[in-house]
Amino acid sequence: KQEVTQIPAALSVPEGENLVLNCSFTDSAIYNLQWFRQDPGKGLTSLLLIQSSQREQTSGRLNASLDKSSGRSTLYIAASQPGDSATYLCAAPTDSWGKLQFGAGTQVVVTP
């Protein structure tokens, strides 16, 4: 069974600093890995999806990498802004049907 871990649980950075968020998974036979953002009390917004065949994916200030051999994915957010304050979750499918196993999330605070 796929297990997903996110460390640290919380992170605070000053505005303008780059953010580095980590996600670990146990099964290297991964279909894909997806990063989400969640604002308090709200649903999830998809940020990036990295397929198994990809090493990284980029969208604007966001860049996510995938290293299957080490069981890690990293989400980089460049030049952080207070609006980036949220909880960031990574998730990987547990089977071929698309059921997702989520990490516990990293709560990010960007201070002005």
Partner 1 sequence: SAVISQKPSRDICQRGTSLTIQCQVDSQVTMMFWYRQQPGQSLTLIATANQGSEATYESGFVIDKFPISRPNLTFSTLTVSNMSPEDSSIYLCSVEDQGMNTEAFFGQGTRLTVV
Q: In the complex with partner 1, which residue's Cβ is closer, 41 or 112?
A: 41
d(CA 96, CA 20): 29
Instruction: Look up tokens 């604007």; give the residue.
Output: 60
Q: Looking only at Cα atoms, what is the longest distance across the chain?
A: 43
Q: Is 55 in the site for partner 1 (CB under 8 A)?
A: no
Handedness of CA 23, 5, 105, 90 (dihedral sign): positive
Q: Is 60 in the site for partner 1 (CB under 8 A)?
A: no
Q: Is 43 in the site for partner 1 (CB under 8 A)?
A: yes
Interacting residues with partner 1 (CB under 8 A): 31-32, 34, 36, 41-46, 49, 89, 91, 93, 96-100, 102-105
